[in-house]
Amino acid sequence: MGQDVPSTHRAASFTLRAVDPITDRQSLVDALSGQSDGAGDLRGRLLRTREVALLFRVSERAVTDWARRGRIPSVRTPGGHRRYPAAEVWALLEGGNGG
């Protein structure tokens, strides 16, 4: 304890983020419907699995399963993560009376 870690073993002190995720369902619904003041219209954005799960009130695993089965459209990032077109997610949410 109390020893300094050699500089070659120090962890990076920064985090890369393309877009901050929205962690509150109502904020997501407001942003997607164009009713939010600060976030703007998110319909051109790609949503994270967690955000889609919040919108549909299901687990992240359920969203991933839906995408794998073709029930919800998704694209893959270069790192292999799924992203979901916000406009298409919103259309599904509206069509299913989930909002």
Q: Tell me the three-class secondary structure of the chain, residue by residue.
A: CCCCCCHHHCCCCCCCCCCCCCCCHHHHHHHHHCCCCCCCCCCCCEECHHHHHHHHCCCHHHHHHHHHCCCCCCEECCCCCEEEEHHHHHHHHHHCCCC
Confidence of residue 62 (pLDDT cuts 50, 70, 90): very high
Model pTM greater than 0.85?
no
Please provide the CATH number assigned to the domain covering 21-95.
1.10.1660.10
pLDDT more than 70, % of the chain: 64
Query: With contact defined as beta carbons under 8 Å apart, do 54 and 28 qualify?
Result: yes
Each domain of the chain, given as residue ranges in start order, spans: 21-95
Degrees (nearest 5) of the Cα angle 96, 97, 98? 90
